[in-house]
Chains A and B, each alone.
Chain A
C-alpha cells in the first residue's frame, strides 16, 4: 500500500491519503439524521442494516465491504449528525472518526428534498478539507416538489461531485461507487472552496490562525482553518482537546486571544461569534442554491402537517397513542396465539415421536426433556415476537416514533426527563440492548443514566414468553389484559424510579428538548420485513445457541448425580411386582394404571431432588420462600439471569423431567396444578422487575461503567424481591 502525504498550500495541516493503487480504500458515510444514510449503506454493501425513520438508528459505526472494479471498498456508516459540533455521544463518534481515522473519501448523504438544512453539515465537511462525494438522496421527492438545480454549477460551488440517488429504490448506487473511485483516484486536493464569514470574522480567524502558528507541531491532525473556526465557535470538545494537547502556558495565551476576538465580534456585530458563523454558513448555502436554482418551489408537506394536527393534538394525541399501543398488544396476543399453538402442537408431537422411536434412556431424555423442552419452549413464541417487531418497525418507519416522543414530552417532563428519552424506552419493549445503545442520542449524561437505569422496567421481548406462559395458564380468559397490566406496572416503576434517581443520584436540570419530526412516510414492505427479520433472527439465533447450551446444562444439572442403584433396583422390582399382579389379574387395569403412575412420579421426584439442580434449588429456596416461590421457580428465576427466555425453558425441563405428566399433560397444566394464580402473577412481577439479562448488563457496563452496572443489578434485584415479598405477603391474606 502506497501512502502519500498531500500537502495543501493553503493549509499548514497535512492529511494522509492512502492511494488506491493497492486496491483498498476506506469511505465513510456521513449525513444528517433522517437523510437515508443507512439505506444507502445497505444498497452499497448489500447488508441488512437497521433503518428507522427517526434520529438515532446508527448508534455505532457499522462496516461493510464491496468489491468494485477490482478495488475493495470498505464502507463505514457513521451515526447521523447535524453538524461537526458534537453534542451527543453518537455525534462524537462521527466527528472523532473523521478527525482521527481520515477516510479516503467522505460520502455525504443529503436529503435532497431539504437541501438548505442538510448542506449545513456539508459546509463543515468542506472546511475540514475532506475528499467528498455528495449524494442527493430522495431525489424523487425533490423532482416531485418541482425543484431543480443546475447540478454542475452547484457541484462547482460546493467543491464536490454530486450524485443523484433514490435510496428506497436502490437508484444511483452504481454512480456513487463510480464517483467515489474517481474522487479517491485524483491525487489533487479537492478544489478549494472556502466559506467566507465576512470581514469581521475573517479578521478574527486570521488572528486565531496567527496565534496557532506557534503550536503547529502539537496540532498536526487538524486542518488549521477549520480549527480556527471551531475555536471561535467555542466548541467545547475542541477546546478541551486543545487544553490537553497544548502546554498550559500556550493554552492560556490562546484563550486570551480567543476572548479578545469574541469580545470584538460581539461589539461589532452584536451577535455571539457562533451565531454569526452559523448565519454565514446558511448564507453561503443560500447563495449557492440561489445561484444554481433552475426552478425552485417551496416544499409542500402540508399532508404531514395535517396528520400532525390530529396525532399531536393536545386532547386526542395521548389517547390515540394509548389506543395504538393497546392495539399492538391485542394483535400480538390474539393473532399471535394461533401460530404459537400450532408450533406447540408441532413440538409436542415431535417429543412423542422421538420418545417412541428411541429406546428410553439418557439420550432420549436429553433430546425430549432437555432440547425440545428447553429450546422448543422458547421457539414457540417466535410468531408473537415477530408480530411485536413488525409493529415496532412500522412505528419507526412511518415516523410516528418521533411523534410518540413529542406526545410523551409533557409526561416525561413531569418525571424530570424529556420526550427523547421515550424512544429508547419504546425500543426497550423489543429488546433492552439496542435501547441502551439508543440512549446515546441523549446529550446530557444524567438524562442518559436515568434513562438507562429505568429502561429495565420496559418489558422486553425476552420477558414476553414468561408472561404468555403464566398469564395464559392462570388467567386464560383475559391473558391480554393481565399482560397489559404488567407493562403498565413496568411503566409506573420507570416513572417512580426516574423521579427517585433524579432526586438522589443524578441531580440537575434535564437537557432542553429539540428534535426533528421527520415527514410521515408509508413504511415499505421491504423495510418492515427487513427489520422484523433482523430482530427475529436474533431471537431464533439466541434460541439455537445460548438457550440450547443452557438447556443442555440445565438438563445435566437435573439428571446428575443419579440416584443410587439400590433405589433403582427397588423401584424396578416394585414395577415388576405391579406388572405381575396385573397380568395375574389380582388388580384391575384402573388400579394398575394409577399405582404405576404414582410409582413413576415418586421415582422421578426422588431423582429430581437428588440431582445437582435439585440441591441448588433447595439451597436457594429460603431466599425465595418469602415470595411464595418453591425451589423450581427460584431456580428458574436464577437461570433467567442468562436471558429471560431461559426461565420458560428451565420450567419446561423441570416439569418435563419430574414426569408428573401422563403424556397428555403439558407444562401449562403442570403449572396450574402446582401453583396458585397469585404465585403465577407474582412470578411475572418478579421477572419484570429484575434486570433483563447478562448481555444487557455487559452493554450497561460498556456504556456507563462498572459502578453503574453494579448499581443497576443491585437495585433491580432488591426491588424485585421486595415487591414480590409485599405482594405475596399481603395477597395471601386475601386469597
Chain B
C-alpha cells in the first residue's frame, strides 16, 4: 500500500480511502473481527497455518486475547490457539463488526 501517495489531483485515491490500519494480531481486541492481511512467518509456518485454516483474506474473530500469553482465534468455525510469537507475525486489519 503506498501510503501518502496522492493522485494527479491531490485527492486521496479510492484505494487509500478503503485502506485500514494494519496491526499485528497480538495487538487486537478480544471479541472483534479482523481480516488477515499477511503472514510474515517463514515458509513452514505459512504452510502450517494454511493447513489449519488460517489464510490471508480470511475473516477471523479474536475469541480470547491473552495479552502477553497465548490467544485464541475463531477461524472457519474452529478454535485455534496461537502463541505470542506467531501473533506478532500475523498482520490483520479491523473489520466492520
Chain A contacts to B: CB under 8 angstroms: 82-83, 85, 87, 113-114, 116-117, 120-121, 233-236, 271-272, 274-275, 278-279, 282, 298-299, 301, 304-305, 308-309, 312, 314, 402, 405-406, 409-410, 413, 418-419, 443, 512-519
Contacts and interface: CB of A to CB of B under 8 A. Distances in A.
B55 A279 contact: yes
Given A308-B63, A314-B69, A512 B77 contact: no
Contacts of A418: 83
B29 interface: no
Interface in B14-41: 39, 41
A274 B50 CA distance: 9
A528 to B, nearest CB: 23
Given A305-B74, A513-B85, 4 more contacts: A275-B46, A278-B50, A513-B70, A513-B81
Most buried by B among A278, A413, A419, A518: A278
Given A314-B66, A514-B86, A516-B79, A87 B44 contact: yes
A82 B51 contact: yes
Interface in B42-86: 43-53, 55-57, 63-64, 66-70, 72, 74-86
B10 to A, nearest CB: 27
20 contacts: A83-B51, A87-B47, A87-B48, A114-B76, A121-B51, A235-B47, A271-B56, A272-B46, A274-B46, A279-B55, A305-B79, A312-B66, A406-B81, A409-B69, A409-B83, A413-B84, A513-B83, A514-B80, A516-B79, A517-B81
**What are the nearest 6 A-B pairs in CB distance?**
A513-B83, A83-B51, A278-B50, A82-B51, A517-B79, A410-B69
Contacts of A113: 77
Nearest to A299: B77
Interface of B: 39, 41, 43-53, 55-57, 63-64, 66-70, 72, 74-86, 89
B83 A236 contact: no
A85 B45 CA distance: 12
Given A272-B43, A308-B63, A312-B72, A419 B83 contact: yes
Contacts of B64: 308-309, 312
B95 to A, nearest CB: 15
Given A120-B51, A278-B55, A516 B39 contact: no
Contact of B79 (A87, A278, A519): A519
Contacts of B39: 275
Given A298-B77, A312-B64, A514 B83 contact: yes
Given A309-B64, A418-B83, A410 B47 contact: no
Nearest to A517: B79
A113 B47 CA distance: 24
A142 to B, nearest CB: 11
Contacts of A413: 83-84
B79 to A, nearest CB: 4
B64 to A, nearest CB: 6
Most buried by B among A113, A419, A513: A513
A514 B52 contact: yes
B15 to A, nearest CB: 14
A2 to B, nearest CB: 37
Contacts of A299: 77
Contact of A514 (B43, B74, B81): B81
Given A114-B77, A512-B45, A314 B72 contact: no
Q: By CB atoms of chain B within 10 A, which of A116, A235, A517 has the most?
A: A517
Given A304-B79, A312-B64, A410-B69, A275 B45 contact: no
Nearest to B64: A312
B40 to A, nearest CB: 11
